[in-house]
Chain A
Amino acid sequence: MLDFTYHRPASVADAAKIVGEIEDAKLMAGGMTLIPTMKQRLASPSDIVDLGRIPELKGIRRDGADLVIGAMTRHADVASSALVREAIPALASLAGQIGDPAVRHRGTIGGSISNADPAADYPAGVVGLDAVVETNQRQIAADDFFTGLFDTALEPGEIVTGVRFRAPDAANYQKLRHPASGYAVVGVMVARFGSNIRVAITGAGPSVFRAMEMEAALSAKFAVESLAGVSIDAADLLSDMHASADYRAHVVGVLAKRAVAAIS
């Protein structure tokens, strides 16, 4: 790891000021991706701005009907939160399946979605549950937030402050774990908001995406059999040593059915 200047601002405003002024500064949330990358000398930012001591970024609160999870909330805290488990148990379940215990006690929701790893679990939760990403500048609908492989709608210096979820009538997250990393080879979040159904898929493609045909079929009738004959095009999916695109497409179908079955 190369030397860098370490900053630990006490407020979002201070953090934004530092990243605004120093071109090569990098925000650090849990550091679960950034630190290994720096240790391998694949990233060498001049300055690290640690968001870990900013009180306004932490915690889970109810805001009317919504649930707002602060950007620096650890996965383990989401998984064990009584508020989350009551309002959106599928989200608590998703957080509890991320990585391993060490990652769940360091990694954060803001860090995960800002990094936008194609195999991360949270993007499926955020998109599937139609959440709103709150930043120090604006609110971004989940559908607009993830723009590609490790790419988001965030502008340089823009800091995620939290994620606003509305509770679905029911939701379920299904995942095929990567045998080494614990990331999602495929992760599927199915959420039902009245007659509106959302199906978000992570791990399978270069970025989280919604399975529109599945959503349409399930909106017509929310039942496992509605998914019969609905398939995902493997041409758009990833292939690697652990799973071919064909297999991923198949797994999406199986996991979507299991998620629907779990909440039918």
Chain B
Amino acid sequence: MGQFGIGQPVRRKEDIRLLTGKGRYTDDVHVDGQVWAAFVRSPHAHADIRGIDIAAALESPGVTHVFTGADLEAGGVQPLLYDLPFKDRNGKPMFKPARRILPTDRARFGGEPLALVLAETAEQAKAGAELVEIDFEPLPCVTSTARAGDPDAPVLYPEHGSNVAVHWENRAPDEIDALIAGAAHKVSVDLVNNRLVVAPMEPRCAVADYDAASDVITLYTPTQGIMTMQTAFAALLNIPKNKLRIVAQDVGGGFGIRSKRYPESIAVAWAAKKIGRPVKWRGDRSETFVSDYHGRDQVNHAVMGLDRDGRVLALRLETIVNVGGYCGDNGPRLPIDGGGRIIPCGYDIEKFYFSVKPVYTNTVPTDTYRGAGRPEANFIMERLMDAAADATGLSRIEVRRRNLIPTSKLPYRTQMDFVYDSGDFIGTMDMTVKEADWDGFAARRAESEKRGKLRGIGIASFVEQAGGRPTEEMRVKLEADGSATVYAGTFSHGQGHETVYAQMVEDFLGIPFDQVKLVQGDSDTTPVGGIGTFGSRSSMMGGVAIRRSCNQIIIKGKRIAAHLLQAEESQVRFEEGLFKVNVSSVSIQEVARAAADPSKLPEGMKAGLDENYLFEREPDAMNFPNGCHICEVEVDPDLGIVQIVKYTAVDDCGVVLNPLLVHGQVYGGVAQGIGQALTEDAVYDETSGQLLAGSFMDYGMPRAHHFPHMVAHFNESQPCKTNDLGVKGAGEAGACGAPPAFVSAVVDALSPYGVKHIDMPLTPERVWRAIADAKSKRAA
């Protein structure tokens, strides 16, 4: 409906504000009388703490207080506990130790916060922090994912005796192993899914203000979900939920790590109440590197058996996930029943053995990062499919075609118990192959060769899963002036909800786009059933809740209109913003005005047009965004430099609410996926346990020059069948498609040398070395 309705490429409302410096971030919050916080962090990857001496710090100019974990715990602060139900095959539960907010006995990763210093200025707080003397007894450390479970690896939790938290399996492997052993073709891959620093543009920040009269702590903080944060933080602070107000205004990127239970934020909130003064902490960039949760960090060994025709008979997958020094809120969950549960992705594989070992190491804990297990799962499947093409002699497209779940098999229940409701995996692949001009590749390769470059083309077909938690609450309120306000339980931190929710309200109620306002980011006004924005869930959850709130407004509006038009309610139709009875009509604005005036309402009706809806979907009614990406690269064989020269994406995210916004999501996801595959690597020194890539001088973020003009298309033929809007998630698909498509392309470019795989990131040295090794192997 109209140029601002659903499906229109409406420009983002929020951009003028955000791009002209008018955004308001947590660091813009200053409260009169505030003190500044600084954290003392462990310089060691692993060390026992024999004592903490705060005397010198307390004497430092401007320092008002120094607190350790002992103070916080005496004040009722709770340790982080984890709701992770995983067991091994014998029923033994996962080892999931509590994390103390500021430990006083042992530090388990470099950068772990150990004490809090408050002072009149930020610089005084930092100077004071340097004077806190901690008596460390350094311990041997382990950072390697692959080696953390070795019998001789230093152990983080002596009481457990091993770094392996649990050995989880989906089933016994015997039948699978027998099938693979008897298969005509057997392929295997060993993969490293490199650890990433998430690095949102806005560093972490927290400002806490305690009001003694009401006994309420107000915590200003970046977040991805106001109400979930309020619940979690109140529990950790050991106070009732209504005594903690969470406020977030603009947030500079989330990518999954924003709403976590960070010790720094808890300590700041507690301290504000303890000392009776506002407390502000602004993490600097170096702190975000060593204290924001990291992403990914898995090693995978996968074996697949195929029949003579290239059909997969069975798959065996073993994953080790590095969860870091502590569990993280979701870290161990990711490969098992988080995003990783999507495996074997779009392929029709009935016989599947899956084993996961989460391991503790002396590194920053890992947690959800754009895709949260799905990029890892799709990477494994796509590298296996390329290996299968190689082993069977089928093309990479054909081997996928023979194994992708055909639309005729939908709804399809996966081995991990998801039900795919909709999708055209083969059709989407065919669209991409056509859009990318796959058939014309040979000519492009020949042209590149003339310039001394090796050209390769790579393909990735992927399925991911969106939805997260199964409830969300939204409220739509019509004001007496005819405008509308959406109170969101979701939380836009870059996605463009101000725009897309306004499109929805225009479409559903006929209220003009520019008269729809979004209110979010304050637990005093956010619907109590609000969850937040992660897992590509805002349209499928929040959007549906808006749809149903609007439906309720229409139902009530019809009663009011019937009263105003002196008609029967059943005679009233609602069309394009008008309540109509035969030839008479009243606009929704007139109904809204009347609704504010009890004298104009039917007897006993409550004033106002103000409806909220708590949407509870069937827990398994997630949805399954999918797509196919094709990447083309040129490799400089002398230096190993890879340049992406062409990138084509076709995504099936169901009904597209706003193509501009979804394109943005695809491009951003692809950029982060290419970042992982090409430049990003959170490398630790294995001996010292120090993060070597600890700043933007060493950690390579993807840059504009890495990307060609990218083209994103949609396959809109498969609306989601499990929600009112037909939408599927759109936020994380790019990060699923890009790494395997890119690696496939580089390996294809290097196929003249017989290179089969290169671990991410594909740095110039790794690519050069793969060529050099292949050459010397041939010479031998």
Residues of A within 8 A of B (CB): 1-3, 40-41, 176, 179-181, 240-244, 247, 250-251, 254
Contact = CB atoms under 8 A, between A and B. Distances in A.
A150 to B, nearest CB: 15
A2 B123 contact: yes
Nearest to A242: B763
23 contacts: A2-B123, A179-B700, A179-B763, A180-B697, A180-B698, A180-B699, A180-B700, A180-B701, A181-B697, A181-B698, A241-B681, A241-B683, A241-B693, A241-B698, A242-B765, A243-B764, A243-B765, A247-B764, A247-B765, A247-B768, A251-B639, A254-B638, A254-B639
A244 B123 CA distance: 39
Looking at B692, B697, B765, B768, the one whose CB has the most chain A CB atoms below 10 A away is: B765
A243 B640 CA distance: 12
A234 to B, nearest CB: 13
Contacts of A254: 638-639
Interface string B626-642: 00000000000011010
Contacts of B765: 242-244, 247
Is chain B's interface secondary structure helix, strand, loop, or mixed overall?
loop
A254 to B, nearest CB: 5
B772 to A, nearest CB: 8
B683 A179 contact: no
A181 B703 CA distance: 12
Contacts of A2: 123, 127
Nearest to B684: A241
A241 B692 contact: yes
A251 B286 CA distance: 31
Nearest to B640: A247
Interface residues of B, number: 24
Given A241-B681, A250-B768, A251-B639, A40 B286 contact: yes
Contacts of B130: 41
A41 B126 contact: yes
B697 to A, nearest CB: 4
Nearest to B637: A254
Contacts of B683: 241
A45 B127 CA distance: 15
A131 B126 CA distance: 44
B769 interface: yes
A158 B697 CA distance: 29
Nearest to A257: B638
B639 A180 contact: no
A104 to B, nearest CB: 15
A247 B769 contact: yes
B679 interface: yes
A1 B700 contact: no
Contacts of A179: 679, 700, 763
Nearest to B636: A254
A200 B763 CA distance: 25
B82 interface: no
Contacts of A180: 679, 693, 696-701
Query: Closest 10 CB pairs between A and B?
Result: A179-B700, A180-B700, A247-B765, A181-B697, A179-B679, A254-B638, A241-B683, A241-B692, A180-B698, A243-B765
Nearest to B126: A41
A2 B124 CA distance: 9
A176 B636 CA distance: 12
Contacts of B126: 41
Interface string B688-711: 000011001111110000000000
A242 B699 CA distance: 10
Nearest to B761: A179
A221 B130 CA distance: 60
Contacts of B127: 2
Nearest to B768: A247
B255 to A, nearest CB: 19
A180 B692 CA distance: 13
A176 B641 CA distance: 9
A243 to B, nearest CB: 5
Given A180-B696, A180-B697, A244-B765, 6 more contacts: A41-B126, A179-B679, A179-B700, A241-B681, A247-B769, A254-B639
Contacts of B638: 254
